[in-house]
A and B are shown apart, each in its own frame.
Chain A
Amino acid sequence: MIRPRQHATIAGVAMILAVVLFSLLYPLFPGYDPYAQHLASAFTRPFTDGHYPLGTDSLGRDLASRLALAGRITLGLVLVIVVVNALIGMAIGTVSGYFRGVTDNVLMGVADVQLAVPMTLVIMAVSAIRGPSTVLMATILGVTFWVGYARVARSVALGLSGRDFVIAPKLLGARSGWVMREHVVGHVTAPVLILATADLGNVLIMISSFDYLGLGVQPPTPSWGLMITDGQKYLRQAPYLTIVPAVALLLVIGGTLLASRRFTDEGQGLRRVRRARRGALAKEVAA
């Protein structure tokens, strides 16, 4: 039985799935070639030519093929970055909440500093020295986006640190690493996974923005952000060059937002207030 609040989740998952399946399956079609240039058929509009279902770009390259390849590259990067950050955040947060005290203060202090540093500027600074590249962007984003996960993991670990099943093995002489692995990490996983789902869209926005600026994936490899940079040059003559990758991008970002809606704070604040009021009233009546 589907409850009304699940409609958003299902719609969101469907949107993401549509784009993912397209990216994975389109290469199986005979017309797939993201790099071949057909200058004679440059600027073919979408849905007008059977050979090029989504049209061609300024060099006559098949837009559908490029969209699919760019999708695999962009979404693959998103996945790697989210997973690595979730793992780093989980480790740091668990340690921080488990040991508390000085360790906690130091680690969370680092997290606060990290949060205040604008990633755009860091990537620009390092790109100025090393030259922009996909690896550089992925590495920097891969190790600088863990604060949210660390905070969630920490709050869970902090809540567990006084429970019997954590204290008892400590008294029996178990090492901290073992206690954390056996008894704490399992409880941390679920909330971290929820946050990771919600974060997919955010990371996709960041990656595409860096690609768009030219600080991420480098041509001729396609990415959705780069396809939009390309399209911007022909915004007047061929707006579809911008719109096609934009639709893919918006479907995935919108999909993750919808799918993670019921887990995130959206609209829950008010319910919290009403519940608190009811609770307070009930307590008064009971007294």
Chain B
Amino acid sequence: MAVYLLRRFAQAVITVFAVISLAFLLGRLTGSPAASLLPETASAADIAALNHELGFDKPPLTQYLDYLTGILSGDFGDSYQQTGTSSMSLVLQRLPASLQLGVTGFAIGLALAFAVVLVIHLSGRWSLRGVALGLGAARLAVPDFLFGLLLVLVFSVTLGWLPSLAGADPLAIVMPAVTIATAQFVVYSRLLDNSLVAESSQDYVRTAYARGERRSSVLLRDVLPNALLPVLTISGITLGTLLGGLVIVENVFAWPGLGQLMLDAVFNRDFPVVQSGLVVIATIFVIVNFGIDVLYGVIDPRARVR
């Protein structure tokens, strides 16, 4: 197990390094930002001065090494717009709000998906399954931003029950969280249902029923642990859709999170902020996937040998 963990950890570190290098490539090798940051009337000397200040006149390899040593000492570069403010500190300020929304929405969606799918499979009411999957398909047909706006239209404009924008009201999290939770519910209810159905046709399940075991014990003790493996595998991949969805939902509801900060930075051409945001998101991505690998090793002994 220790070797398995060590290998996974090494892979995680390499991934983060790759993302950091990619962020550099995107930021530096596509040209100097001076032309887009300065007003159009700026002289060639002004541009050269800014290039020198930002270090863009050095050879690329030197720039890359400077960048890496900067990161190792915790310096991700200052924001272009708010000069003197570290871009990473801006990002970290916004991170808690994003985590709060993302984790709440994800947890509700995941819990609901497991509850609904398990109840359906335990009770054997396949008509309910049609209803649940049908509702899921309907939710899937509505883009996240539109679903959020429709919620606002119904619950704040028409009924006036909930605040439409983020603010002091603690109820403000309800609609963005519901938008994310329903999207996650669709993903995980389908995954788990597919996985349970596929696993149920295995020989060992028939044998268990032939021994006269009850449905609940077969399902929960024999089938569920096996069915969890594919769900776990794919959850590492679908994390990306959660993060992408977060950017959209934060912008619909003016939620003061990382996604909104990064989008504003895009429009202000404030690349260091986008870059720091990417590094933070990639790190979260890698940590979560490392956690999934560890869980995988715990659930499935075979994974430890591979």
User: Footprint of B on A, CB under 8 Å?
Assistant: 115-121, 124-132, 201, 205, 208-209, 212-215, 225, 228, 232, 235-236, 239, 242-243, 246, 249-250, 253-254, 257, 265-267, 269-270, 272-273, 276-277, 280
List, in ascending order, chain B residues with CB within 8 A of A257's CB: 137, 140-141
B157 touches A213 (CB 8 A): no
Question: B210 → chain A, closest Cβ, in Å?
Answer: 11
List, in ascending order, chain B residues with CB within 8 A of A213's CB: 145, 247-248, 251, 263
List, in ascending order, chain A residues with CB within 8 A of B201's CB: 272-273, 276-277
Contact with A along B257-291 (1 / 0, CB 8 A): 00000110111011100110010010001000000
Known: A116-B240, A250-B142, A269-B193. A235 touches B153 (CB 8 A): yes
Binds A, one of B45-53, B107-115, B126-134, B298-306: B126-134
Whether B197 sits at the interface, judged by CB under 8 Å, is yes
Known: A128-B265, A250-B142. A270 touches B237 (CB 8 A): no
List, in ascending order, chain B residues with CB within 8 A of A273's CB: 197, 200-201
Known: A235-B149, A257-B140, A273-B197. A117 touches B240 (CB 8 A): yes
Roughly how many angstroms separate A120 CA and B206 CA in the complex, as a whole number? Answer: 45
B145 touches A228 (CB 8 A): yes
* CB contact between B262 and one of A115, A116, A124, A253 (< 8 Å): that residue: A124
Whether B244 sits at the interface, judged by CB under 8 Å, is yes
A-B contact count (CB 8 A): 123
Binds A, one of B23-31, B58-66, B94-102, B224-232: B23-31
CB<8 Å pairs between A and B, sample of 20:
A118-B244, A118-B281, A124-B263, A125-B275, A129-B26, A129-B33, A209-B144, A212-B143, A239-B157, A242-B153, A246-B149, A249-B146, A253-B143, A266-B137, A269-B194, A270-B129, A270-B197, A273-B197, A277-B201, A280-B206
**Which B210-242 residues have a C-beta within 8 angstroms of A?**
236-237, 240-241
List, in ascending order, chain A residues with CB within 8 A of B36's CB: 131
Roughly how many angstroms separate A153 CA and B102 CA in the complex, as a whole number? Answer: 35
List, in ascending order, chain A residues with CB within 8 A of B122's CB: none
Roughly how many angstroms separate A52 CA and B15 CA in the complex, as a whole number? Answer: 55
Greatest chain A CB density within 10 A among B146, B149, B265, B267 is at B146
B248 touches A212 (CB 8 A): yes
Roughly how many angstroms separate A208 CA and B266 CA in the complex, as a whole number? Answer: 18
Known: A213-B263, A269-B197. A236 touches B243 (CB 8 A): no
B271 touches A129 (CB 8 A): yes
Question: A254 → chain B, closest Cβ, in Å?
Answer: 5
Question: B141 → chain A, closest Cβ, in Å?
Answer: 5
A250 touches B244 (CB 8 A): no
A128 touches B269 (CB 8 A): yes
Roughly how many angstroms separate A151 CA and B54 CA in the complex, as a whole number? Answer: 44
Known: A232-B149, A254-B141, A269-B198. A214 touches B247 (CB 8 A): no
List, in ascending order, chain A residues with CB within 8 A of B285's CB: 116
* CB contact between B278 and one of A121, A129, A232, A250 (< 8 Å): that residue: A121
Greatest chain A CB density within 10 A among B27, B252, B266 is at B266
Roughly how many angstroms separate A246 CA and B252 CA in the complex, as a whole number? Answer: 15
A124 touches B247 (CB 8 A): yes
A272 touches B281 (CB 8 A): no
Roughly how many angstroms separate A180 CA and B153 CA in the complex, as a whole number? Answer: 53
A129 touches B27 (CB 8 A): yes
List, in ascending order, chain B residues with CB within 8 A of A126's CB: 26
Whether B135 sits at the interface, judged by CB under 8 Å, is no
List, in ascending order, chain B residues with CB within 8 A of A225's CB: 145
List, in ascending order, chain B residues with CB within 8 A of A249's CB: 143, 146
* CB contact between A128 and one of B149, B251, B270 (< 8 Å): that residue: B270
Whether B14 sits at the interface, judged by CB under 8 Å, is no
Contact with A along B177-191 (1 / 0, CB 8 A): 000000000000000
Instruction: Name the residue on A nearest B273 (C-beta).
Output: A128
Roughly how many angstroms separate A124 CA and B27 CA in the complex, as a whole number? Answer: 12
List, in ascending order, chain A residues with CB within 8 A of B240's CB: 116-118
Roughly how many angstroms separate A215 CA and B241 CA in the complex, as a whole number? Answer: 17
Question: A229 → chain B, closest Cβ, in Å?
Answer: 9
Instruction: Name the residue on B nearest A252 (C-beta).
Output: B141
Instruction: Name the residue on A nearest B198 (C-beta).
Output: A269
Roughly how many angstroms separate A254 CA and B140 CA in the complex, as a whole number? Answer: 9
Roughly how many angstroms separate A239 CA and B156 CA in the complex, as a whole number? Answer: 12
* CB contact between B152 and one of A205, A215, A235 (< 8 Å): that residue: A235
Roughly how many angstroms separate A116 CA and B252 CA in the complex, as a whole number? Answer: 24
Roughly how many angstroms separate A235 CA and B30 CA in the complex, as a whole number? Answer: 39
Q: Which 3 A-B pairs have the closest CB atoms?
A: A120-B244, A118-B240, A269-B197
Whether B295 sits at the interface, judged by CB under 8 Å, is no
List, in ascending order, chain A residues with CB within 8 A of B244's CB: 118-121
List, in ascending order, chain A residues with CB within 8 A of B247's CB: 120-121, 124, 213
Whether B42 sits at the interface, judged by CB under 8 Å, is no
Greatest chain A CB density within 10 A among B133, B201, B241, B285 is at B201
- A115-B237, A116-B285, A209-B145 known; 18 new pairs, CB 8 Å cut-off, are A116-B240, A117-B240, A118-B241, A121-B247, A128-B274, A129-B30, A212-B145, A213-B248, A228-B145, A228-B146, A235-B152, A235-B153, A235-B157, A243-B153, A246-B150, A250-B141, A250-B146, A267-B133
